[in-house]
Amino acid sequence: MIKVNKISKAFNGKMVLKNVDLQINEGEVVAIIGPSGTGKSTLLRCINFLEHPDQGSIQVDQLMVNAAHTSAKEILALRRKLSFVFQNYSLFANLTALQNIAEPLITVWQQSKQQAYASASAILKDIGLADKVDHYPSQLSGGQQQRVGIGRAMATQSKAILFDEPTSALDPEWVAEVLALIKQLAKQQQTMVIVTHEMSFAREVADRIVFMSDGEIIEQGTPEQLFTKAKDPRTQQFISRIAKHTGD
Ligand code: ADP
Ligand code: MG
């Protein structure tokens, strides 16, 4: 469903992504792991052209966007097929939980007010925040804010949701509820690509784990393969360092 073809990206002359190929199938949950600074966020951002790749193309279903010749219209079409969940929830401070989910449906998706508010309130119920409709972000915990951020991504019914370290900005006490919501989506066969440093979560929720290092995909496979039978020494080293760190 998503095909990343030979994507490259450099910042200030330094190659951050080197000819990356990646395919995501419908209904699949793919976790991207790897040391920090190796291009995981850049790859995710290139998938919906939040970062313009220097080379390569992204295909989502029938839509093919080539970095060498893009139009604003194509990029918009691509972004409509994918939604993105950021580390810092990026909610509008002056809008309630309900409005944060409904407003993009009205402004970006041209839904009627009535329709948008009906779907937003259904989503809030789904994510266990039905009692918070009229709360502003400042009145919600970090975990609740991030759940609203995920609810906003769910509301657009996009083909896939891309998550960039969705729990790394949270106080530890709020991590579990956010991971639980992502698991709930995985059960519903929502296609997702998740950059995460939560290894036991990745292991549990992902159909496939992709290990990146130094701008390249080094190895990928099922959680079982990657965590217990990694072939590349760089993967082995990363996994064993993490195991030592967390006692897994
Ligand atoms: P990761 O998510 O794996 O930690 P990133 O994709 O954020 O890695 O970053 C990869 C490299 O690219 C890092 O060296 C980072 O400093 C650099 N980088 C990322 N974004 C930018 C940017 N907008 N401008 C310059 N350098 C960047
Ligand atoms: Mg990152």
The model's pTM: 0.94
DSSP state of 48: T
Q: What distance in angstroms lies between residue 87's CA and the mean position of ligand 2's atoms?
A: 9
- For CA atoms 139, 140, 142, 148, give the dihedral sign: negative
DSSP state of 168: T
Question: Can you give the pLDDT at residue 79?
Answer: 93
Pairing of strands 160-164, 29-33: unpaired
Check pocket membership of 96 for ligand 1, CB cut-off 6 A.
no
Q: What distance in angstroms lies between residue 177's CA and the mean position of ligand 2's atoms?
A: 21
pLDDT tens string, the chain, 248 residues long: the values are 999 999 999 999 999 999 999 999 999 999 999 999 999 999 999 999 999 999 999 999 999 999 999 999 999 999 999 999 998 878 999 999 999 999 999 998 899 999 999 999 999 999 999 999 999 999 999 999 999 999 999 999 899 999 999 999 999 999 999 999 999 999 999 999 999 999 999 999 999 999 999 999 999 999 999 999 999 999 999 999 887 776 55
Statement: 2-90+161-246 belongs to CATH 3.40.50.300: yes
- In whole angstroms, what is the distance from residue 55 CA to residue 32 CA? 21
Domain assignments of the chain as residue spans, ordered by start: 2-90+161-246
Check pocket membership of 52 for ligand 1, CB cut-off 6 A.
no
The residue contributing the CA closest to ligand 1 atom 22 is: 11
Q: What distance in angstroms lies between residue 16's CA and the mean position of ligand 1's atoms?
A: 7
